[in-house]
Amino acid sequence: MSTSTKSGYHHGDLRASLLTTAMRMLEAGEQFSLRAVAREAGVSATAPYRHFADRDALESALAAQGLRDLKEDLAQGRELPASVEDLAELAVAYVDFALRRPALFRLMFGNACDTGSNERVQAAADIHELLRLAMTHVFSEPSDALASAGWALAHGLAYLFLDGKLQVESDDEIAEQVRAAFTAILAARAR
């Protein structure tokens, strides 16, 4: 598991190990603190403080990783969208991420962005830029407002499904509802 011992500090990448452990605990629904993460990672109770000032800093780092994972899911195997239908597929991927990783998704967006964390600020900016580029590619006009509106629609749908407000029988139904909502809103814009 870990290459560290309680009697001496020797760990290849303590920060990465702590984040991996915390992510696993978060996604398994386990309560975690810096002490609990240290115990699970097999390091001293004070070791996490070399990288994280407190639990909020650890959560911010997890949120940044989640944003990077989301961006990777959105970009995976896709060119920039060329149509409203392609934009709808980005929304489907966004909602899918939320439903596959609900605890992380809620952590990512459940509180204000920690502006003291350059890592988190950059990860959030990268998502916004990807969405702005996607909208610009389809509508041929740079628009932060349009990117924010598209993000808000996908994000709102994600939470409606997460919270059980939209009832569906299958993942296919979720994808169809997301496509239909996105197309209904953006098709009018395309005209």
pLDDT tens readout for residues 57-71: 999 999 999 999 999
pLDDT in tens, 106-160: 999 987 777 888 999 999 999 989 999 999 999 887 678 888 888 999 999 999 9
- Residue 85 has which token pair? 């239908």
CA distances from 69 to 75, 94, 104, 118 (A): 10, 11, 10, 17
In terms of pTM, does the model score above 0.85? yes
Which residue's entry shows tokens 């990465």? 16
Is residue 184 pLDDT above 80, yes or no?
Answer: yes
**Eight-class DSSP state of 2:** -
- pLDDT for res 140: 82
List % helix, strand, coil for the chain (3-state, nearest 5).
70, 0, 30
- pLDDT for res 77: 86
